[in-house]
Structure 1
Amino acid sequence: MTSDPAKAKEFYTALFGWTYETGDVEKYGGYTMAFKDGKSVAGLMQSDQNDAGYPDMWSTYLRVEDIDATVAAATAAGGVTYLAPMDVPEQGKMAMLGDPGGASVGVWEFGGHTGFQAHAVSGAANWHELWTKDYPAALKFYQDVFGWKTSVMSDTPEFKYSTLGEGPDATAGIMDATGDLPEQAPSNWLVYFQVDDADGAVATALSLGATVIQAAEDTPFGRLAGLTDPTGAMFKIMQPPAQ
């Protein structure tokens, strides 16, 4: 969701090499699909300018088989519905939920649109991560509502982290961010985009009006950095470790 689609498209084209296709305004509200090397990688949508204070942000969407049953299960598990299930003509059904920790997450029931076509390649998402202020409740919510089989990666007082799947097959993470998020900041999902050169990507992003919120650093999972784009949407980049 972006307050300035033109600026967002210019930024992500220069940073990731994206191209775009914009849907029919009357049917899809001008929703724009982003592509890398001809494969879909993300979507961009004009935020509602009448919704004062709604931040520019990236959202993670989880695939579900029955969106109505998922929303009902989420409500029963302590979640809230921000956007009730709605049909997207010829594409599928979508909804937005809030988990018990307050993080928003999208859900998508397949129609003609079946999600991103590229993953874990340069310019595409390669990891999704929930920073939550209620780690036990978040874990139980995603297990109960989405059937996640989670694996504990770390369970120390300093660092609690579980993954969806295990080891190299893991596809998302849940982190206890109680001590990391400011009091006024809500729990949130973060999207990581893969790059070939993290330091070069940071330099490019800065030249385009981005802000660094986490300086590039080496980790066992690659070289990571956190950024906000020129209108404030937060994301991370990841340069995989050398093979």
Structure 2
Amino acid sequence: MTLHGHFHWNELNTRDPERARMFYGATLGWTFSETPMDDGVYWVAMMDGCPVAGIFTMTSPDFDGLPEHWFSYLAVDDVDVRVAQAVKAGAELIRPPFEAAGAGRLAIVRDPSGAVLGWITPETVSETVSETGS
């Protein structure tokens, strides 16, 4: 269960998922399960049968000029409400909230310092609990 405001998921954004799978499999013992997407495959890294991270292939022109990198998602109780609060507090909305099948509702924001990260309300509502436990 991921609490509101806690890191929920990390994914490697790469142009060479095969090389990444070979590296992390050899060095950490990760295995991988394949999840088909409209524009390719999303790889879920597994450790001892549990998902630990994802591997996303950067194929879109949106990624031109960006280096390969790890990207983090924070769990929030309501991504639409929290994104509106973030924008009011000075954040820039990079990608408005959208549904990601099997994951939940996500948005990408740039905080006032310039750091970019994802915010997610996981698909299973009970997976994200507010700080008060409700």
TM-score (norm 2): 0.78
Contact 1:90 1:112 in 2 (8 A): no
Letter in structure 2 aligned against 1:11 = F
Which residue pairs with 1:151 in the alignment?
none
Contact 1:85 1:95 in 2 (8 A): yes
Letter in structure 1 aligned against 2:53 = A
Which residue pairs with 2:53 in the alignment?
42
Q: What pairs up with 1:160-199 in 2 under 5 angstroms?
A: none
Deviation by residue 1:119-163 (Cα, 9 ceiling, x = unmatched): xxxxxxxxxxxxxxxxxxxxxxxxxxxx99xxxxxxxxxxxxxxx
State the distance in 2 between where 1:85 and 1:32 align.
22
- Structure 1: 5+ residue stretches without partners: 116-146, 149-243
15, 20, 42: which one aligns with 1:31: 42
Which residue pairs with 1:157 in the alignment?
none
Does the alignment pair 1:70 with 2:82? yes
Which residue pairs with 2:15 in the alignment?
3
Query: Are residues 81 and 112 of structure 1, via their aligned partners in 2, closer, same or farther at CA, if it must alter by over 3 Å?
Result: same
- Structure 2: 5+ residue stretches without partners: 1-12
Report the alpha carbon displacement of residue 3 of structure 1 after superposing the two structures with TM: 1.0
Q: What pairs up with 1:102-113 in 2 under 5 angstroms?
A: 102-112=114-124
11, 27, 32: which one aligns with 1:15: 27
Aligned residue pair count: 116
Q: Secondary structure at the match of 2:80?
A: helix
Q: Greater relative contact order: 1 or 2 (C-alpha under 8 angstroms, separation 6 or more)?
A: 2
Larger strand proportion of the pair: 2
Q: Secondary structure at the match of 1:68?
A: helix
Q: Secondary structure at the match of 2:20?
A: helix
Q: What pairs up with 1:1-243 in 2 under 5 angstroms?
A: 1-26=13-38, 29-50=40-61, 51-112=63-124
Q: Secondary structure at the match of 2:69?
A: coil
